[in-house]
Structure 1
Amino acid sequence: MPVTVRVNLADKAVLFRTTIRSAKSQARSTRAWARVHSVDRVLNLNTQIYAKCRKQLINLGADDLLMKYRRLEKADLKATTVVADPNARSQRNSTLAWFWSIDIEGDSTSNDWMNEFYRVHWLRTLALCNRWEEELLLVGREMTWTVAFLMHKSQEWVCRMQEADAKEIIGHRCYAARQAQMYLQLSQHAEDSFDRTKGVAEVAE
Structure 2
Amino acid sequence: RAAVQQELVENEAKDGIIRGTTSWISQGLKLQEEQLQLGAHVRKLGRKITPEDANKLEDRRRLLQGRIDTYEKLLLDAPKAVLDKYEVLSKDQLQARTFVIDPKVVGQRNLNLPWFWHMDVGKTGDASQYMIDFYRVQWLRCKARRDRWQEEYIRVLTEMQAFVLYCQHHARQWKARQERSDQLGELGHTSYAAGRVAMWTDMGEEAKTFFEQVVSPGDMDIAFNGREPVVYPDVYRSLL
Smaller-chain TM-score bracket: 0.5 to 0.7
Equivalent of 1:59 in 58, 74, 99: 74
Q: Is the aligned partner of 1:199 residue 2:217?
A: yes
Q: Name the TM-score, length of structure 1 as normaliser.
A: 0.62
Structure whose alpha-carbon radius of gyration is higher = 2
Please report the TM-score for the alignment, with normalisation by the length of structure 2.
Answer: 0.54
Map of 1:42-191 to 2, 5 A cutoff? 49=29, 56=71, 58-59=73-74, 61-62=77-78, 64=80, 65-107=82-124, 109-191=126-208
Measured after TM superposition, the shift of residue 108 of structure 1 is: 7.3
**1:70-110 deviation per Cα after TM superposition (whole angstroms, max 9, x unaligned):** 22112222334334442433212222222233335534733
Q: Secondary structure at the match of 2:216?
A: helix
Q: What are structure 2's unaligned runs of at least 5 residues?
A: 5-25, 33-67, 221-229, 231-240
Q: CA deviation at 1:181?
A: 1.0
Aligned-residue sequence identity (percent) comes to 32
CA contact (8 A) 1:108 1:115 kept: no
Correspondences of 1:4-15 after superposition (within 5 Å): none
Separation (CA, whole Å) in 2 of partners of 1:51 and 1:100: 23
Conserved? CA contact 2:179–2:190, under 8 Å: yes
Contact persistence 1:82–1:88 (CA under 8 A): yes
Matched-pair contact (CA < 8 Å) for 1:151–1:183: yes
For the 8 Å contact 1:51–1:71, the answer to whether it is kept is no
Q: How many residues align?
A: 157
Equivalent position amino acid for 1:71 in 2: V
Kindly indicate which of the two structures has a greater share of residues assigned to helix. 1
SS in 1 for 2:188: helix
